[in-house]
């Protein structure tokens, strides 16, 4: 995918997730919520790939319609591929997955933040650090503060 860099001036921050799950116990409950985020214009899905790491460590791709008996609603993202994910990215994602588990690799634009990010860029600002605090860490910190 070749893109004119000036087109990216109005782009929101782009994030990725690798979410591991047990494909035998998956309910698909979260999938309609992802579709809803897109329909509300909060995010834009750039890439959505699913892989399964077999017990022997080999990795195979999984089609979206193979998830949760094909009733996920994710079919609208079939073929979502921006070109941002390369072979090395997928290899790294697969390394994070436990054998016998399935993972979704999602790359998305935070459309909601695009106007703010664009204004910062126009003002000469640049992102120099970013991160996320896992909910489990927040809960542990709150528990520790409460028990102190």
What confidence tens digit (pLDDT) does each residue in 33-76 have?
999 999 999 999 999 998 999 999 999 888 777 765 555 667 77
Q: Is the dihedral of CA 52, 31, 84, 97 positive or negative?
A: negative
- Are 64 and 77 contacting, i.e. CB atoms less than 8 angstroms apart? yes
Token pair belonging to 124: 């000469």
**Percent of the chain surpassing pLDDT 90:** 54
pLDDT in tens, 138-148: 999 999 999 98
Output DSSP code: residue 89: H
**Res 7 pLDDT > 70:** no
Structure confidence at residue 9 (pLDDT):
77
pTM: 0.81
């Amino acid at each position: 995918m070749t893109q004119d860099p000036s087109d990216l001036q109005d782009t929101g921050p782009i994030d990725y997730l690798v979410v591991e799950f047990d494909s035998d116990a998956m309910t698909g409950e979260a999938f309609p919520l992802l579709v809803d985020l897109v329909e509300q214009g909060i995010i834009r899905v750039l890439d959505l790939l699913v892989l399964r790491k077999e017990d022997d460590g080999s990795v195979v791709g999984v089609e979206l319609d193979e998830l949760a008996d094909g009733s996920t609603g994710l079919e609208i993202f079939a073929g979502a591929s921006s070109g941002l994910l390369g072979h090395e990215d997928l290899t790294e994602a697969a390394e994070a997955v436990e054998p016998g588990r399935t993972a979704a690799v999602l790359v998305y634009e935070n459309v909601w933040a695009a106007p703010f990010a664009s204004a910062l860029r126009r003002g000469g600002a640049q992102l120099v650090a970013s991160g996320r605090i896992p909910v489990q860490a927040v809960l542990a910190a709150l528990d520790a503060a409460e028990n102190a």
